[in-house]
Every structure is written in C-alpha cells, then in structure tokens.
C-alpha cells in the first residue's frame, strides 16, 4: 500500500494527469478522485489464468451521472485502456495493454502510467481496478470534438418538471381585449367569445353563444315588402349605409385588432335590423362617391391626393394608428357622399332628419392631413353641402370623447358654422391634446368655436346634460342655426375601451332630444367614434328612436353635476360670456354654487385636521403628568436612601 501511495505521489509530481490524485475508495464498487471529483465505477472483476484480479471500469462524471466514452479520437489527453485484459508476466512485470493511443506525443507517458498502476494493483493483493483517466478539456478541444458528443447526454442533467406550453389567446369581438383560451367570457366586458352581437346586435345576450340565443326574446319585426314600402313613403328619417364601407380594414393585424374595424357598422346594422328600424322604418339614401370638387370645399389637394393614392397600395398608414388599404379611398368617398346627400335631402325637406351610418370617421381629418382613424371630414363636408343647399347658419355639436381638431381647424375662421365640442382634455394629456376652453376661434370668428373640456375620465350623463343646459343650448338658441349636425361619437359611452367615460344610451337620447328642437328639427347625426360594439349599437339605436319620434321624453330637471364637471362648465362660461352675453346669468348663478361647494370643502378639511391633529392641552398635560409622577418617585427614593444612611 505504501508503494502505491509513493507511486501516486511520483505520478502527481510528474503532472501526467494535471495535478489529479487518485485515491482508492471502495464503496459499493465506486472510486472517485479527491481533486477533480470524478468517479470510477468498478463494474465487475475478472480472474485471469494466473490467479490475479483484473477489473473492467468505466468512468462516471459527477455532472451527468452517466457513463461516458473515453476513447475520443480528437481529444489531446492521455487515455488509459478501458479494458485492461492484458496478461502479467511471471516476473511481475507490467501487463501489456491492448489499446491505441490517439496522441502519439504521450505514448511514453502512457506506458509509464500503465506500469505504475499495474505495480500498485499487484502490490495491493485486494480488489485491483483499472482506472481510466482523462485531462480537463479546453474550449478549443470541446469545439473540435463537438460532433463526437451524444446530443442526448449533453442536457441529461436538465430535466424540467413540465414542458413549455404556448398560451393560446382570443380577442373579444365586443371590445377587442385579449383573453386566455380557457375562459369563455371576456374578462373586461363579459362578452361571450361566440356572442351573437354581430347577428342580433345588442339584443343578443352577452353571456351566451349565438346558438343559445332565445329567438322569442328578440323584437318581432315585419319583413314584408308592402310594409317596408309604406314605411319608406311615410318615413321622416333617412339612413345612409353602404356595405362597401366594410371593406375598409387593417390588412395586417398588430398586437390586437384595430378598434376602428368593420364590426362597428355590422353591430349597429344588426341592432337596427333586429329592432325593425332599418330596413323597415327608415328611408335608405342611395350611396355615391363624393366628387373631387366637393372635397375641395373642405380639404386641400394634398389631402385628397394622399387618400386617393392608397387605391394602388395593399396596405399603408397615414399615421401609426390611421391605416388604409386598397378599398379605403372608396369607403371614405362613399361616407362623405352619403353625408353630403343626407344634408341636402334634410335641408330641402325631402326627409326630416337622418342618420349617417358611415365609416371611416372624419372629425380628426383636417385641411391637409388625415389622422386619428379619419381620412375625410364627413361633418365638414355635410355642413358645406347644407350651405350649398341654402343654409346660412350651421351648428355642429361634437360629443365624441376626443376633440374634433380637424373640424375646428376647418371652421375656426368662419362665422357661418358654430362648432361646439364636449370632450376629455385633461390639460392636453388626452388625445389629440387640442380643445382647451380658451380655443375660441380666430380671424374675427372668436366665439364660434366652443370647447367644453373635461378634466378627468368617468364623466357621465349628469355632467353632459348639465353642460347642455348651461352652455350648449343657450349658445345654440342665440346662434339660431338653419341646420344642425351631430358628430356622434359613442366612445364616451359606458364600457368603451378608449373613452373610459360613463354616458348611457338614455344620456345620448336626451342630448339628441334637446338638439332636435333646433333648426326646425333639421338634424343630421353622423357616426364618428365608438369601439365597444354593445355600447355603440345600443346608443345609436336610442338616438335613431329619438329621430323617429319613438323615444319617451326623459326628465332632466334638477341635474346635479360632479364637482369636476361644474368646474369645467364654469371655466367655459367665464371665457364664452365675453362673446355670448346670455351666458352671464348662468355664470353668476353657478359661481355662487361653486362658492358654497368650496366653503363646504373648507369646513370638511378643518374638521379633518381637528380630528387628526393632537390637541395642545393633551400634549402639555401628558408632559406635566409624567413630570409629576417622576418627581414624586425621585423624592421618595432620595428620602429612603437618606433614612437608610441615618
């Protein structure tokens, strides 16, 4: 045993195995090295003809715990024979190993190493084992031998508990929000993934698939041609719609569907059809593409050509959010043509009022640029058509949650068109950032642009109706328009993913009812935004019912606004009363009301301070009490100590 240890020390000094000492540890047939940690598994023992034990060993590595091959032809280390079945000579000389060394430069070292191991085995006389060793491989050696490694063994030490699975997603047909595959209802709006909203509109249940819709719960409609013809002849409401506008769509979907999508029109049309309104009770206006000359009354040649050239492109973008395909130019011209024809028909008296069920929307499109999902400004084109038909004064009320910056730009120098917009502004942080209360028009048309900016989201019916009563109607009555246009964006409706406000179908119906009393009832409603299909379809249906005269009168007396809404209305009145003197009375009344609110807030804050603040007498009393107690204790202790000394 001592001879073996000396030979192992001599082997270490010669650095034939790169400072790796082999020590024999017989433990269930396992040998390991104290330095490198590699283990030698003694698989079996063979007794040769001369009575000597010869072991067959295979190397195990601590990293993988599996057997590895030792005869790698591209490695530069010294490799011992894995199968030591050589015969010992009678004089105890070293056995002859049957192996081929793959590195001729180390042939002498291998012979010396084999002799040392054989002498150690013969001297131990107990369980000899042939040990296979190899030096540490360099990165270059590993790269050269990369084709000789078993791919299954390379990652054998990494066994994940479960395989990676792809999370499937689906987009809500109602609000376009993304949901995981294992849920059947949208986590945002609650709409079923197979909802029948595109077939039955908002009448379809949001919680059931289209196959489970109870047909008995849907409105009963008359589909006979005779009833339709009679309704057309006696109708006072016209609707403009063309299926070719559905071809305007984003070609390549990005992270989620674009909110301005063809399903918006499909949902409204399905609601009107299910309710028997259109077709049935409304007169259809035939669609036509507006001419270039009519467009030039509103837009520059630059805008017209930029939209027209998209006919030759499969997909294009005016801005990152304003897309176009090969059908978009036609859809935009159809929408503008329907709005122009509806305005002419209403002003001339052929129909009393109308609803333009069109897309793409238009109130963001300015004189030169297309933006905000809008290509041509439909409301501005309708106002121009009404003026061409003889209207002297046109009122445009825009209740879309976004400011109609394009419409304001087109008419900011005109006194014949009064533009009033109610929108989220939040000090310019809400898209598009324009529409502050001090934007009143220019070039002698000051006061003909009225902006009512909301300073927060969540604005509901009470704030909108309050603004109508205090600002919109007084100015509109003073203006006395010949024709009224509503840029009816329904993205301020409850549940809209972009507007995040709280206006209900009843609120939209109330505002429509108030505006229908202007200009002799000559009212055109043009669809703008709105991206929750259930909200937009129910709101549009409520508005059309008002146009048909079927909606009940809604009581809007004693409307109490929110504090934020009152503050916004006061800011508008303070500015606009310089141009509309009729607003001074409302401003004085509301200013006093705001003063009472401010006084109440001051009292609440003072009470809160008194509740949370620590009274002075308590702090002084506490200190005084502690001082007295501690003083008595000190006196008593000092007296006790003095008496003890005595």
Q: What is the CATH number of the domain that holds 552?
A: 3.40.800.20
* 543 assigned to some structural domain: yes
400 and 484 inside one domain: yes
- Average confidence score pLDDT of the chain: 78
Number of H helices, E strands in the chain: 19, 15
Structure tokens that stand for 566 in this block = 């009152």
Q: Is residue 172 domain-resident?
A: no
What is the predicted pLDDT for the residue at 85?
41
Q: Is the pLDDT of residue 116 over 60?
A: no
Q: Is the pLDDT score of 34 beyond 90?
A: no
Determine, yes or no, domain membership for 307. yes
201, 346: one domain: yes
145 domain-assigned: no
Q: pLDDT digit string (tens) for 471-490?
A: 999 999 999 999 999 999 99
Residue 21, SS3?
A: coil
Tell me if 444 is assigned to some domain: yes
Do both 398 and 327 map to the same domain?
A: yes
212 shares its domain with 287: yes
403/361 Cα distance (integer angstroms)? 13
107 has pLDDT over 50? no
- Residue range 604-608: average pLDDT? 60
Measured in degrees and rounded to the nearest 5, phi and psi for residue 283 equal -90, 125
Same domain, 106 and 235: no
User: Between 400 and 234, where is the model more confident?
Assistant: 400
Give SS3 for 390: coil
φ, ψ (nearest 5 deg) of residue 611: -75, -40
> Is residue 255 over pLDDT 50?
yes
What is residue 168's predicted lDDT score, i.e. its pLDDT?
Answer: 77
Give the structural domain span for 61.
Answer: 2-137
Q: Is the peptide bond before 432 cis (omega within 30 degrees of 0)?
A: yes
Asked if 561 and 480 sit in the same domain, the reply is yes
| Whether the Cβ atoms of residue 363 and residue 408 lie closer than 8 Å to each other | no
Q: Quick one: 406 and 278 in the same domain? A: yes
Q: Is 587 helix (H, G, I), strand (E, B) or coil?
A: helix
φ and ψ of 474, to 5 deg: -60, -45
More confident: 123 or 202? 202
Q: Which pLDDT value is given to residue 380?
A: 98
Are the beta carbons of 113 and 78 closer than 8 angstroms?
Answer: yes
| pLDDT at residue 599 in the model | 60
Q: Would you say residue 245 lies in a domain? A: yes
Predicted pLDDT of residue 133:
45
Residue finishing a domain among 540, 574, 590? 590
Q: In terms of C-beta density within 10 A (0-12 exposed, 13-18 middle, 19 or more buried), how is residue 598 classed?
A: exposed
Select from 590, 618, 637 the last residue of a domain. 590
Q: What is the largest CA-CA distance in the chain?
A: 130
For the ranges 177-186, 327-336, 627-636, the lowest mean pLDDT is seen at 627-636
Among 590, 609, 635, the domain-final residue is: 590
* Residue 351 burial (C-beta neighbours within 10 Å; 0-12, 13-18, 19+): buried
| pLDDT on residue 333 | 98
Which whole-number Å values give the CA distances from 640 to 425, 475, 628, 629, in the listed order? 78, 91, 18, 17
Residues acting as catalytic residues:
364
More confident residue, 560 or 503: 503
pLDDT at 537 over 90: yes
**Is residue 177 assigned to a domain?**
no
Structure token pair of residue 552: 């009940």
pLDDT of residue 278: 94
Residues 308 and 442 in one domain: yes
By C-alpha distance, which of 512, 182, 576 is closest to 354? Answer: 512
Q: Is residue 437 part of a domain?
A: yes
Identify which has the larger pLDDT, 419 or 193. Answer: 419
**Nearest-5° angle of CA 399, CA 401, CA 406?**
75
pLDDT at residue 126 in the model: 47
Report the DSSP pairing between strands 53-60 and 169-171. Answer: unpaired
pLDDT at 66: 41
The 3 state secondary structure assigned to 335-380 is: HHHHHHHHHHHHHHCCCCEEEECCCCCCCCCCCCCCECCECCCHHH
Statement to judge: residues 120 and 264 lie in one domain = no
Q: What is the mean pLDDT of residues 237-258?
A: 93
Confidence of residue 147 (pLDDT cuts 50, 70, 90): low
Tell me: the pLDDT tens digits for 369-384? Answer: 999 999 999 999 999 9
Tokens of 214: 């109870």
Q: Per the structure, how many domains does the chain have?
A: 2
Of the listed ranges 132-141, 251-260, 548-557, 573-582, the one predicted with least confidence: 132-141
Identify whether residues 122 and 206 lie together within a single domain.
no
**pLDDT band at 74, cuts 50/70/90?**
very low
Mean pLDDT of 605-616: 57
Torsions phi, psi for 145 (to 5 deg): -100, 20
Pair (204, 128) in one structural domain: no
- Give 3-state DSSP helix, strand, coil % of the chain, rounded to 5: 40, 15, 45
Q: What pLDDT, on a 0 to 100 scale, did the predictor assign at position 596?
A: 75
Q: Are residues 455 and 309 both part of a single domain?
A: yes
N residues, the chain: 646
Q: Which helix (H) or strand (E) segment is 489 a member of?
A: none
194, pLDDT greater than 70: yes
């Amino acid at each position: 045993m001592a001879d073996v240890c000396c030979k192992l020390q001599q082997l270490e000094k010669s650095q034939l195995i790169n400072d790796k000492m082999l020590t024999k540890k017989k433990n269930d047939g396992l040998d390991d090295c104290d330095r490198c940690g590699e283990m030698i598994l003694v698989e079996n023992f063979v007794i040769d003809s001369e009575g000597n034990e010869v072991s067959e060993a295979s190397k195990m590595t601590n990293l993988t715990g599996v057997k590895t091959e030792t005869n790698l032809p591209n490695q530069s280390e010294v490799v011992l024979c894995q199968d030591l079945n050589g015969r010992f000579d009678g004089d105890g000389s070293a056995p002859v190993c049957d192996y081929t060394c793959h590195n001729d430069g180390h042939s002498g070292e291998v012979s010396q190493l084999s002799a040392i191991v054989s002498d150690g085995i013969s001297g131990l006389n107990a369980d000899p084992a042939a040990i296979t060793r190899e030096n540490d491989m360099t990165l270059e050696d590993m790269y050269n031998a990369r084709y000789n490694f078993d791919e299954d063994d390379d990652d054998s030490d990494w066994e994940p508990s479960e395989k990676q699975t792809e999370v499937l997603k689906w987009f809500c047909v109602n609000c376009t929000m993304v949901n995981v595959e294992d849920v059947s209802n949208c986590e945002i709006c609650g709409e079923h993934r197979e909802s029948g909203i595109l077939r039955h509109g908002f009448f379809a249940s949001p919680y059931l698939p289209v196959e489970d819709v109870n047909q008995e719960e849907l409105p009963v409609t008359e589909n006979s041609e005779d009833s339709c013809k009679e309704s057309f002849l006696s109708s006072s409401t016209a609707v403009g719609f063309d299926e070719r506008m559905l071809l305007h769509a984003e070609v390549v979907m990005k992270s989620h569907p674009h909110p301005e999508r063809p399903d918006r029109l499909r949902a409204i049309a399905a609601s009107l059809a299910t309710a028997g309104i259109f077709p049935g009770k409304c007169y259809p206006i035939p669609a036509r593409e507006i001419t270039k000359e009519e467009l030039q009354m509103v837009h520059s040649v630059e805008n017209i050509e930029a939209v027209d050239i998209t006919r030759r492109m499969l997909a294009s973008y005016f801005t990152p959010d304003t897309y176009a395909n090969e059908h978009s130019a036609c859809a935009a011209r159809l929408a503008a043509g329907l709005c122009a024809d509806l305005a002419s028909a209403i002003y001339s008296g052929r129909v009393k009022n109308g609803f333009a069920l069109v897309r793409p929307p238009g109130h963001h499109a300015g004189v030169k640029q297309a933006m905000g999902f809008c290509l041509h400004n439909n409301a501005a084109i309708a106002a121009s058509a009404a003026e061409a038909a003889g209207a002297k004064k046109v009122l445009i009320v825009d209740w879309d949650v976004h400011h109609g910056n394009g419409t304001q730009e087109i008419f900011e120098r005109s006194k014949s068109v009064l533009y009033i917009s109610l929108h989220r502004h939040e000090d310019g942080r809400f898209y598009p950032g324009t529409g502050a209360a001090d934007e009143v028009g220019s070039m002698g048309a000051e006061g003909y642009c009225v902006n009512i900016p909301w300073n927060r989201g969540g604005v509901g019916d009470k704030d909108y109706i309050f603004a109508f009563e205090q600002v919109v109607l007084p100015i509109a009555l003073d203006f006395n328009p010949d024709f009224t246009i509503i840029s009816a964006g329904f993205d301020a409706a409850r549940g809209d993913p972009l507007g995040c406000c709280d206006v209900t179908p009843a609120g939209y119906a109330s505002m429509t009812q108030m505006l229908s009393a202007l200009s002799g009832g000559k009212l055109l409603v043009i669809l703008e935004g709105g991206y929750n299909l259930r909200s937009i379809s129910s709101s549009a249906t409520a508005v059309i019912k008002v146009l048909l005269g079927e909606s009940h009168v809604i009581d809007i007396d004693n409307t109490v606004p929110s504090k934020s809404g009152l503050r916004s209305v006061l800011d508008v009145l303070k500015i606009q009363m310089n141009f509309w003197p009729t607003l001074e009375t409302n401003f004085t009344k509301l200013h006093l009301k705001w003063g009472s609110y401010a006084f109440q807030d001051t009292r609440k804050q003072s009470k809160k301070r008194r509740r949370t603040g620590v009274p002075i007498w308590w702090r002084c009393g506490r200190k005084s009490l502690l001082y007295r107690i501690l003083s008595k204790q000190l006196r008593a202790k000092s007296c006790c100590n003095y008496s003890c000394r005595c």
